[in-house]
Structure 1
Amino acid sequence: MIPQGDPSTQDAQVRPQSLMLSFLGVYVLNRGVAVFSGSVIDVFARVGVSEEAVRSTLTRMVKRDLLARHRHGRRMYFGLTARSAAVLEDGEHRVWRSGVVNDDWDGTWTMVGFSVPESWRSQRHDLRSRLVWGGFGPLQNGLWVAPGVVDVPHLVDDLNLTEHLKVFLARTAKPTEADQIVHTAFDIPAIASRYHTFLHRWDRDRPLPDAPDDLARQLLLHTEWLQLVRQDPRLPAEHLPEGWPAIRAEQVFRALAEAYQRPAWSIAESVLDTIPVEDP
């Protein structure tokens, strides 16, 4: 999925749907357009995604109500749905407004207890994925915790599991310490390692030298960063190790995103075929 040849590009495989969401977030969200499938194929070829994979991803996302088809003449265009717009807006908030360090935590935890039948494997997987996205980590069997106040209904309402959940706001009491919660529920070394991997690839004078252009770099940068923040629970700063790599990683991301924006948009304007549609 990524140009090879430079060691900084290793282990950077990303799914076509993750790339698609990044592309839609940058070039479709809040712009009142749908984009021609052929031009999406052109963009994704820059990052090594085949035409077959693009078409399969578009079809799958339509079936999941993440894309809507719009026929214009003999061409098929794809625009957002209310569901995908909400997903992308949430991602945009996490990337641009939340920040990766929680430096204003007041000691409150949101706790979610759940009991889902073992036979509901798909529902259990979806619930856990949503909880991770919401900043939760497993404290013990069936009990997950996140720093701060989390809007759990907004996070999981469409999963139809409300009757299987118990949600509490809590604070620690002796002998339990907040630091114990952080290091029990969250894999701090694994989170740090992901940021170090990002820095190894992007914190250099000329990242991804084998990529064909800055549109490709922009798409890969945004996709990898969104995957990082999706897995980062934004733990309280006072409970993180000194020199936490997320701080430098966010600086690198923002600097590169700004550097790529103008040249990438110039390329995109010459490649993308869009039609106006109503925003969902």
Structure 2
Amino acid sequence: MTSFDQAGGAPRPQSLMLSFFGIHVLDRDVAVSASSLIDVFGQAGITEDAVRSTLTRMVKRGLLDRHRRGRKTYFGPTIRATGVLRDGHDRIWHTGAVNRDWDGTWTLVGFSLPEAWRSERHDLRSRLVWNGFGPLQSGLWVAPGTVDVPGAVAGLGVDPYLRVFRGATAVAPTDARTVLHTAFDVESVAKGYEAFLARWGTDEAQGADRTGVLVRQLLLHTDWLEQVRQDPHLPAEHLPEDWPAARAEEHFHELAHRYEEPARQEAGRALDVIRTTAP
């Protein structure tokens, strides 16, 4: 399996790269050679040019540091990228896909940016979506539970244009279910989990042996993180009884644990790494 064959498209190289560093580099104080990354990503169907251009963009964006050792070039995550990777790790392994602990409250964000701030508006909306917000109505976004809005929008320079409220409880004639189905595409989130189950339920996807397990692990984690990114962690009590998130998460955990050790061994053989801090 070299791509999400049954999906609507292949994973983006940067998404795969972040997954790779999150699995094999996070908290290890190491950097990986460009040649190793080219070899591994080539098995996932990513060309050498695409790998090199992705690495260059990620360095320019402050996500990767470049380290030179003789004629070789190595890449490791920056402090900024480490925060992104740890956030993804926590979202997968700690927050989980099913929200059974919602206390009935919401975080509300209202904003009105200058008309010329198109890029800032796009970045703000992207940050809000990643942190579980959905558009309730013009200029007003809502997320279930408590969200650290200052942390979510840090660095965007939009604080003076935001109005943030927390602890609001929906009251008649508004109800929680209406808010969920207005602000979020609930059906699309469910279809995403069903599609994940369909993609990873085949023998080909799971792998009949350990050949290429490092790449399968990489594709699995990237695919799953894409699913949870699209899920605003909706309260389970207001979702259908057959909500597929729990089944999909259980299947992801099963495959992730199955791949973990053989992928670690394959990575040990395949990756050329250097330490980035003194022993």
Q: TM-score range by the shorter chain?
A: over 0.9
5+ residue gaps, structure 1, are: none
Question: Is the 1:8–1:208 contact (alpha carbons within 8 Å) kept by the matching residues of 2?
Answer: no
Offset at residue 13 of structure 1 (A): 1.1
Is 2:45 aligned against 1:82?
A: no
What SS does the aligned partner of 1:216 have? helix
CA distance in 2, matches of 1:12, 1:98: 27
- Map Cα deviations across residues 140-185 of structure 1 (whole Å, 9 max, x no partner): 0110000000000111111111111110011112221111111110
Question: Is the 2:2–2:215 contact (alpha carbons within 8 Å) kept by the matching residues of 1?
Answer: no
What SS does the aligned partner of 1:207 have? helix
- 1:258 counterpart residue number: 257
Over the aligned positions, Cα root-mean-square deviation in angstroms equals 1.8
CA distance in 1, matches of 2:216, 2:112: 43
Aligned partner of 2:255: which letter?
L
Displaced runs of 4 or more, over 6 A: none
Question: Is the 2:7–2:195 contact (alpha carbons within 8 Å) kept by the matching residues of 1?
Answer: no
Question: Is the 1:8–1:200 contact (alpha carbons within 8 Å) kept by the matching residues of 2?
Answer: no
- 1:274 counterpart residue number: 273
CA distance in 2, matches of 1:81, 1:8: 32
Offset at residue 273 of structure 1 (A): 0.5
What SS does the aligned partner of 1:144 have? strand
In structure 2, do the counterparts of structure 1 residues 257 and 209 end up closer, same or farther at CA, with 3 Å as the change threshold?
closer
CA distance in 2, matches of 1:246, 1:128: 24
- 2:133 counterpart residue number: 136
TM-score, normalised with respect to structure 1: 0.94
In structure 2, do the counterparts of structure 1 residues 10 and 228 end up closer, same or farther at CA, with 3 Å as the change threshold?
closer
Is 2:166 aligned against 1:146?
A: no
Equivalent residue pairs, number: 276
TM-score, normalised with respect to structure 2: 0.95
- Map Cα deviations across residues 42-75 of structure 1 (whole Å, 9 max, x no partner): 1101100000000000000000000001111211
Offset at residue 11 of structure 1 (A): 2.3
- Equivalences for 1:163-242 in 2 at 5 Å? 163-169=160-166, 170-207=168-205, 213-242=212-241
CA distance in 1, matches of 2:7, 2:85: 27
Question: Is the 1:201–1:208 contact (alpha carbons within 8 Å) kept by the matching residues of 2?
Answer: no
Is 2:41 aligned against 1:51?
A: no
- Equivalences for 1:97-108 in 2 at 5 Å? 97-108=94-105
Question: Is the 2:112–2:161 contact (alpha carbons within 8 Å) kept by the matching residues of 1?
Answer: yes
CA distance in 2, matches of 1:118, 1:52: 37
Q: Percent identity?
A: 58
